[in-house]
Amino acid sequence: AAYNVAIAGATGAVGETFLNILEERNFPIAELKLLASKRSAGKELTFKGKTYKVEELTHDCFEGVDIALFSAGGGRSLEFAPSAVKAGAVVIDNSSAFRMDPKVPLVVPEVNPEDAFKHNGIIANPNCTTIVMLVALKPLYDYSKIKNVIVSSYQSTSGAGAQAMEELENQARQWVNGEDIVVDKFAHQILFNVIPHVDSFTENGYTKEEMKMFNETQKMLHDKDIKVSATCVRVPTLSAHSEAVTVETVEPISVEKARELFAAAPGLEVIDDPANAKYPMPLFVAGGDTCYVGRIRKDIARENTLTFWVVGDQLRKGAATNAVQIAELFVQ
């Protein structure tokens, strides 16, 4: 069987990655519809050597669509996803709009694939930072329950969209040319800086991004006892998010056991040879679908606690690849 697929937000950073992933994985597509704002209507994009014209995202553009991949911002998902569902499509939504809706499954195929089949038309793709962390936490969780997680993220500029990534490149050019640095997408200059502020702040002092890691982890593992305390930080890298994770488990897990569990987990590889300066880094992880874990060690400050470093391409595994993998669950 082949499916009629629509991509809402096809011109964005994740949208472009959707096209690459669908092509690389040879997803069975009958017809492809590329949707974006009115500004982009008529723009041409290439898929498998064929040129497609971008159309405006509207309520009645989903006729005959089987699978609609949304990554055009939460507002667009809230407005247009119900129209896609009404037209008979299954929506896989990359925004945060529906993630905590109890009627909407939130899925990472390596973590909770069975949840995908309980959908009512919409399946939510988790936040990229949560996905990368969960791919690594799942094999540990299957061995021992997890009490709590302390995580600091090092998030690439492309997580905030294609224009935000360009802002870093532009600031580098402006700096080299001795020009004024233009700040637009981030609260501060990102070049030569780190900004402990991803998404907006909430009343408890955490940002929305940090609370996504708390809430989405509980939802996907179906475990309200897991508490995730995150500090999400934007760093001047282009692609791939990195995370320093400290996890306290109910049962002790030795470093050797953790390495074995990580190595056997789907979607995850271990690069952990610090003596030879081998550990995962965003510069080398970007462009792939695997998450990499390294710096695995026993925490010296707390009992039953492991500390490690995990890196994953957030536009691919953190967004587009994960969404296409969800679609593939239905193709199988």
**Out of 5, 32, 72, 140, the residue judged to bind ligand A2P by CB under 6 A:** 72
The answer to whether 198 and 155 have CB atoms below 8 angstroms apart is: yes
* Chosen from ligand A2P, ligand 11C, none, partner binding at 76 (C-beta under 5 to 8 Å by type): ligand A2P
Q: Give me the active site residues, please.
A: 128, 241
Phi first, then psi, for residue 122 (nearest 5°) are -125, 135
DSSP SS3 for 79: helix
Q: Provide the b/e sequence for 290-305 (b: ≥16 CB within 10 Å).
A: bbbbbebeeeeeeeeb
Contact 117, 217 (CB under 8 A): no
The tokens for 312 are 């994953």
Question: Which residue stretch of 72-80, 87-95, 194-202, 206-214 sits at the interface with ligand A2P (rule: CB under 6 A)?
Answer: 72-80
- Name the one range near ligand A2P by CB under 6 A: 34-42, 141-149, 252-260, 303-311: 34-42
Please pick, from the candidates 3, 9, 94, 171, the single residue that binds ligand A2P as defined by CB under 6 A: 9
Task: Report DSSP letters for 142-171, one per residue.
Answer: HHS-EEEEEEEEEE-GGGG-HHHHHHHHHH
**Is residue 160 within the footprint of ligand 11C (CB under 6 A)?**
yes
73 binds ligand A2P (CB under 6 A): yes
By CB under 6 A, tell whether 238 contacts ligand A2P: no
- Mark 133-162 with x for binding to ligand A2P (rule: CB under 6 A) and - for no binding: ----------------------------xx
Angle between helices 321-331 and 13-24 in degrees, nearest 10? 40
Rule CB under 6 A: is residue 40 a binding residue for ligand 11C? no
Q: Among ligand A2P, ligand 11C, none, what binds residue 280 when CB lies within 5 to 8 Å by partner kind?
A: none
Element containing residue 261 per DSSP (H, E):
helix 255-264
Query: What residues have CB less than 8 Å from 139, skipping those under 6 apart?
Result: 261, 262, 264, 265, 268
165-204 footprint of ligand 11C as x/- string (CB under 6 A):
---------------------------------x------
Number of residues that bind ligand 11C (CB under 6 A): 11
When asked if residue 173 is in the footprint of ligand A2P (CB under 6 A), the reply is: no
Q: Is there binding between residue 159 and ligand 11C (CB under 6 A)?
A: yes
Contact positions toward ligand 11C, by CB under 6 A? 95-96, 127-129, 155, 159-160, 198, 209, 212
